[in-house]
Amino acid sequence: ETGVTQSPTHLIKTRGQQVTLRCSSQSGHNTVSWYQQALGQGPQFIFQYYREEENGRGNFPPRFSGLQFPNYSSELNVNALELDDSALYLCASSLGQDNEQFFGPGTRLTVL
Amino acid sequence: GDSVTQMEGPVTLSEEAFLTINCTYTATGYPSLFWYVQYPGEGLQLLLKATKADDKGSNKGFEATYRKETTSFHLEKGSVQVSDSAVYFCALSDRRDDKIIFGKGTRLHILP
């Protein structure tokens, strides 16, 4: 059974650019959640996708958007990057809602 | 809104010492409570959980009891090992939605 994978591992962008991060959910899981973890902080919930529909959103601006595909993999897109967007972005998958979320290793984004 | 507060680190202990990491929460509903662990270079892993008052979660020698009267979920281990060195996150999930709210994390160093 393959766990949650994320790509790329690391990414460096400049302010104003756009970025796409990818997540492959664990086999059989249909729900994906995204979190932002700033340095020295706990992860903060960005949004969740369940069966290709957004199913809850945290306190993040609209320039953070996402997609979930029919195979339940997911993308996180961030437009107009700001310096404060530098963080570790974590993806977690689960089987349905209200079930244990399994986390990927994360993508480290640096915005210069 | 819902929140989690945990003791600040780093916490440094000698091998075989007793560990307590304090965690308190604020929630309007009846949340599930979790401890996650993040080993160096790895993703977040669920360490233990409790879903209702007086439940005790346990795993790998770690324990935490859901105390509704004190809104606490302190993590304990009787004899720590060097391999327990990691960052520990207390977290909650309100069953009204599926997001997980994390504390800021406590870094634990165990000296041989």
Q: pLDDT (tens digit, 9 = 90+) per residue, A5-27?
A: 999 999 999 999 999 999 999 98
Per-residue model confidence as pLDDT tens digits over A48-105: 999 899 988 999 999 999 999 999 999 999 999 999 999 999 999 988 766 788 999 9
Interface with chain B: mutation pick from A34, A37, A93, highest number of B CBs within 10 Å: A37
pLDDT per residue as tens digits for the range B23-62: 999 998 889 999 999 998 788 999 999 999 999 999 999 9
Which residues from A are below 8 Å from B103, CB to CB? 42
- Rounded Cα distance, B70 and B55, in Å: 14
Residues of A with CB under 8 A from a CB of B: 4, 31, 33, 35, 40-45, 48, 55-56, 58, 90, 92, 94, 97-98, 100-106
Residues of A with Cβ-Cβ distance to B89 under 8 angstroms = 42-43
| A103: closest CA of chain B, how far (Å) | 6
- What is residue B42's predicted lDDT score, i.e. its pLDDT? 83
Map residue B84 onto helix, strand or coil: helix
- In the structure, what pLDDT confidence band is assigned to residue B1 with cuts at 50, 70 and 90? confident
Classify B82 as helix, strand or coil. Answer: helix
